[in-house]
Amino acid sequence: MPDWLSREDFALARGRVAGVVHRTPLLPFRTLGRSNGTSPWLKCENLQKTGSFKVRGALNAIATLSRRERARGVITISAGNHAQAVAWAAGRAGARAAVVMPEGAARSKVEAAIGYGAEVQLHGDAAEAFREARRRAGEEGLVFLHPFDAAPVIAGHGSTGLEVGEDIPGEAVIVVPVGGGGQIAGIAGALAATGRLAGRGRVRVFGVEPEGAPGMRRSLDEGRAATLDGVRTIADGLAPPMAGELNYRYVAEFTEDVVLVSDGEILSAMRLLLTRAKLVAEPSGAAAVAALMYGRVPVVAGETVVALVSGGNVDDEMVVRALHEGEPWP
């Protein structure tokens, strides 16, 4: 049995990020509840600094480095959001930030990472980019910051769960997009550490992945952290080639289930958020809304439901595609 992060671990991480990142709004979204009688809310991490939730984990991870480690500089792998977050957080700490991104990374995310000060290298697919980042870390003496499978990252993301737990003190269902699993591990872990997953005011946590990148779903089915042969989805932020080892253990222990949605359903969720909530979400950020729209998460009338809108860094072309291809709903 792993040593779970404690209540104090999550509190310390929150203290490091509080006042630096935004306490993002929790907004009602009644349209989403009309078909099932639930009371839905949106946790708007698309309005977070650097445009996604990733900054919480990156900031805490860099804050826990020693002065000598910060002087060495850091390197990471990212399809985009973690790259921007690490670049921004490293810049605040006066540290060098190198990022290896897959060659197919969205140009807007590449440019944003460079704009925040990262030294960006485009290299292969996601699996190859992981290997290149680790190679450079050893060769150049850089500190490798894992984008999701690390305790400081998980602890930083726990701040999101603590905020939701304070804003909604009663029973609730929280739906979280899952890539490697750092975000859902942090949210579920923090709520478990504060006693919110049991007893009165109980919270249930569900994950959601794209059908074309079911790393955590496969991990739960196989009973171990799984590596995928390949991924195919428009949700680049939910498409790492593997689930994190530590993240998998958190998900297996503290969440109810991980469900799947199609790319078409994600486009429809993006369209709904744009047209009805007036929020811009990237495909990864719309996945939790898609899972609720299409009944993937078991909820009942009267329940409070929170969909995590995890990011808003999206190309113009994808916004247009969502408006043209996304189905009107309900």
**Hey, which residues are catalytic here?**
54, 310
**Residue in the structure block whose two tokens are 């990156």:** 58
DSSP 4: P
Taking alpha carbons only, the member of 319, 312, 274 closest to residue 49 is 312
The reply to whether omega before 210 is within 30° of 0 (cis) is no
3-state secondary structure of 181: coil
**Residue in the structure block whose two tokens are 């697919």:** 125
d(CA 299, CA 7) in angstroms, rounded, equals: 28
d(CA 183, CA 254) in angstroms, rounded, equals: 13
Phi-psi region of 3 (alpha: psi -120 to 50; beta: other; left: phi over 0): beta
3-state secondary structure of 134: helix
